[in-house]
Amino acid sequence: MKTFLLTAMMASAMLTAVAATPPEVLYLVGDINNWSDPTFEEGQRYQLTDTDNDGIYTGSFEIPAQQCQFKIFTKQAGWTDSESYLGLPDSVNIWYLFKGDVDTMPIGTWPEGYGNNIFLSNWVGGTLNISVKLTETEGKYTSGSITLSSDTQPEFPKVPKNAYLIGEFNDYKTPKGDNLNGAFPLTRYTDDGTLPAYEGRATIPAGKASIAICYTDPESGKTVYVCPLGVTTELYSQAAGEPAINNYVTVSADEFNKETDHLTITNWTGGVLIVRFGLIENIMQLQWDAAPLNDFIVDNLYMILDTKAGKEVMPVNLNYYTFIEQPTKINSIIFSTENSTDPDPSTIWGVVKTEDNNCDGYHQYNLAKGGNPIILDFPELVTGYVYVNTYGRWVMTSFDKIPDYSDLEAIYLVGYMTNWENPSEANAEVYEQYKLEPAGNGIFRGSFLCPASESPYFRFYQVLSGWDGGASIGATLEDYENTPIVVNTDEWSASRFVIGGKGNWALSDWNEDRTVDFEINMASQVLSMIVRPSGINGVEVAPDSEAAYFTLQGVRVAQPTNGIYIKVTSKGSEKVYIR
């Protein structure tokens, strides 16, 4: 396995400092405990301890298959405290562990670029041995290393000596003995004990760059075919003098259909293609040193929607999702670098050929300058998104019909501001003041006071059917997982949600009472929030005055009746229930 070295820079001047007290225990938080942080009892169940005071915390845990994804907490804190939990570097997405391996990786906190979960992709279930060594920096334990081992994992598999690139250039023929049949060999270039990776160079004529990979399984002797299924791609250099390099996730099969089971490079003009293949990771990497320069690296891009009511322009989130929610039927979509409903033809980008889109999942198209619109042939209104990738010059679209939400009467805010009262009919009187009201088909809005808190967690419910009634709306699917969200006064904050999810949102740096406007869009599954600049925030009450009462929407009430109110006095504010 790969070895990573950590180096520390020493200051030139010696400073006198008091050494920080190391944590008594560390906490394993992840799939195994539903991502419950150590502020909950469930989050304190899996502990690593330093029994011999050598600075190394150890623990062994029984972890089910497919549930080996976690972070390490250094104290009993929530997810909003980003210096309290450690993960892998941002550049590391997956980790493989085999029997006999003793693997070490650096870990650190989110602000230091270590935001990824510790994730064993090939975990089959069993006992995982963990040891963590922390490093003190400026009085904090925000970095270190983690070592993993397991005797219950499978042994490192037998792997082939070579793989081969086949394609349209040789009519997808596989090697037979010493006869390559026009295939190009990919030779293993990694050392024994590391993940098997293969590399080779193939000279391919123009128009013949539909490719796949094959190898002989050393256990069964059968030919295995590997490729992204039915994928078309284009390769572009992102800067003058640099090669084009793209990665693709692959699948394996014992049978092969040359009509569909290949990847096609549509802008291939002939030359040498460098191919790398990771057998365990199922990753194919393509490199073209003579690739054309990408002229689609733009600062701004706009989406022109041709709707029943006329043309509209929307800004595009480059290399990210742009969600579309239209009150009228959309006929087509095209892109431009000009913010105009009638842009100059030289600024237009579209699909290579006119395509019909459907409601059956997502579609991906290559983009070209001066290309054609994407046609949306839907009789009903639609909701969905587009994802424009400027590096690969492609767009992914996903649209579906907008459901009818007229039967949904309200959305209920549930969380710390309601003292986590059970969202059931028994507490209907409590939640009457935490309702987001309908404001259009599938749109719900409400404004509520969110008091200062160290644990400002919340989610929503569609009906008052109890915790497990299936009506929850959360930031993530898993219970107890808290997703930080920053809410300001100058712009709306947006977050995707999961219908049926029980993961909470956590208001970041929520150290004062603020009134927040909430909007739930059921069709696009987006929560939007913004802090109101006015309301009860900043209300001053003279020392000898009577208490002032405000609704949860920040409206002052002279004579409060039954319900929950915010009581403000010279000593501060508190939430009270008046009968």
CATH class belonging to 406-579: mainly beta
pLDDT single digits (tens) 380-389: 667 788 999 9
Highest-confidence segment of 96-100, 333-337, 365-369:
333-337
pLDDT of residue 325 exceeding 80, the answer is no
Range with the lowest mean pLDDT among 18-22, 480-484, 501-505, 553-557?
A: 553-557
Average pLDDT, the chain: 84
pLDDT of residue 13 exceeding 60, the answer is no
Question: What average pLDDT does this structure show over 288-294?
Answer: 95
Range with the lowest mean pLDDT among 55-59, 240-244, 371-375?
A: 371-375
Alpha-carbon torsion (530, 533, 536, 538), positive or negative: positive
**pLDDT at residue 315, as a whole number:** 93
CA nearest to 300, candidates 339, 248, 330: 339
pLDDT single digits (tens) 32-53: 887 888 888 878 899 999 999 8
**pLDDT at residue 410, as a whole number:** 95
Q: How confident is the model at residue 540 (pLDDT cuts 50, 70, 90)?
A: very low
**pLDDT at residue 418, as a whole number:** 92
Q: How far apart are CA 289 and CA 273, in angstroms?
A: 8
**pLDDT at residue 397, as a whole number:** 87
CATH of 25-149, one of 3.40.190.10, 2.60.40.3620, 2.60.40.1190, 2.130.10.10: 2.60.40.3620
Global pTM?
0.63
Residue type, 29: V
**pLDDT at residue 210, as a whole number:** 95
CATH class belonging to 162-288: mainly beta
In this structure, the chain runs to a length of: 579
Range with the lowest mean pLDDT among 92-101, 494-503, 541-550?
A: 541-550
pLDDT single digits (tens) 436-445: 999 888 889 9
Q: What does the domain layout of the chain look like in residue ranges? A: 25-149, 162-288, 302-401, 406-579
Contact 534, 561 (CB under 8 A): no
Place of tokens 């808290």: 482
**pLDDT at residue 480, as a whole number:** 66
DSSP 499-529: ET--PEEEETT--S-EEEEEEEETTTTEEEE
The CA-CA-CA angle for residues 459, 424, 448, to 5°, reads 45
